[in-house]
Structures are given as structure tokens and as C-alpha cells.
Amino acid sequence: SQTIHQWPATLVQPVGSPLSLECTVEGTSNPNLYWYRQAAGRGLQLLFYSVGIGQISSEVPQNLSASRPQDRQFILSSKKLLLSDSGFYLCAWSVHNLDQPQHFGDGTRLSIL
């Protein structure tokens, strides 16, 4: 069966520091991968998606970037964090069959001080 792992679970970082969040999927190959942010009191917002290795698309302009160095690995990064980057970050995967749903990881709660 397929599983998705995200780490770390929680992270407290000072403003201006770099960021690297990692997501890996097991039990499937060539998945679609997605990064979402869930801000307090707001719905999940799609940040990035990837349909293959090295292919990244951004949905909203922001201080973050994403990379997919391996088939089942998706990384969310920032060179300098802002206070507004605080939130709950969720990674998700899906197969390329659009009749199947996305499945989410447990998320990373990021607090910027």
C-alpha cells in the first residue's frame, strides 16, 4: 500500500532563516505531488504541484520554492523566511488517473518568530 511521509512534524524558525521541508511517497511510482499551506482560519491553498521529476509549477507568487530531485521526493524550501510564512504545510500525492483523490501527509506546523 502507498504511504506518504512528511518531516519534521513541527518547526520553529527565526525570521530570515532558511527552510527545507521534505515529503516522500512509498508504494507507487511517478505520482503527482502537491504542496499546500493551511493558514489559521483559512482553507488549504495549493502552492506547488509536480507531475514528474524536475517539473515544478507554482500556483501563487511567494517566498517559497519547490523541487523534485527524485521520483517520490518533494521538497519545499525558502532562502529567508518571513513572518507570513507561518502555517501548516501539507504534502499530497495522487496517481495520474483523475478519478482518484489526493492523499495527504500528516503535515508540518511551521512557526516563525
Binding site residues, another protein, CB under 8 A: 32, 34, 41-46, 49, 51, 57, 59, 90, 94, 96, 98-107
Q: What distance in Å separates the CA atoms of residue 105 and residue 22, rounded to the nearest whole number? A: 11
Shortest distance (Å) from residue 112 CB to another protein: 20
| Set of cell numbers at residue 27 | 508504494
Closer by beta carbon to another protein, 46 or else 86: 46
Sheet of 65-70: strands edge to edge?
3-7, 19-26, 73-78, 65-70
Closer by beta carbon to another protein, 32 or else 65: 32
- Count the Cβ atoms, other than its own, within 10 Å of residue 106: 12
Closer by beta carbon to another protein, 26 or else 106: 106
